[in-house]
Amino acid sequence: MQLHEIPSRTKPKKRVGRGGKKGTYSGRGMKGQKSRAGANMPPIVRELLKRYPKMRGKGVHKKSTHNSVSQEVVNLRDIEKHFEEGALVNPENLLKKRLVKRRNGRTPRVKLLSLGEVTKAFTVENCDVSAQAKAKILAAKGQVVLNEKEDQQTNT
């Protein structure tokens, strides 16, 4: 058996409009876009679907997040490394030290987590602080100043 004698599984593509028994227009009709070579028209359904406005993004239907300022997380080991004894730790100073980034041109909310040890006394204000981080800061003779919103929540 030779290579050219192996039976082929695919039928050869019928070439239309090149002589033979198909006639002059070869089943394509007269003139127009569909009668030309290389005519590949997009399905009409796709064009209709692309016209509709889409709501993109994760959780779009739950809550609008494009205006909210996200919360940045900072660990105590980073504060220990970048701040001196008795320094004021707040979102503005964390921005200056490049520990947090601006989000949509606004200063983000900051939450302090307890990863790392604290040997210096800090004053933390306008930050959310986890319970363990607060205990470590107070144990190192530091201070945690509550936000106005947290003050109102603890009083009620």
**How is the chain split into domains, by residue range?**
72-148
At 18-55, the pLDDT tens digits run 666 666 777 778 888 888 888 888 788 888 888 888 77
Q: What is the pLDDT of residue 53?
A: 82
Q: 83-86: list long-range contacts, CB under 8 Å, 24+ apart.
A: 83/120, 83/122, 84/120, 85/120, 85/121, 86/120, 86/121, 86/122, 86/123
Select the CATH number that applies to the domain covering 72-148 from these four: 1.20.120.450, 3.30.420.40, 3.100.10.10, 3.30.70.260. Answer: 3.100.10.10
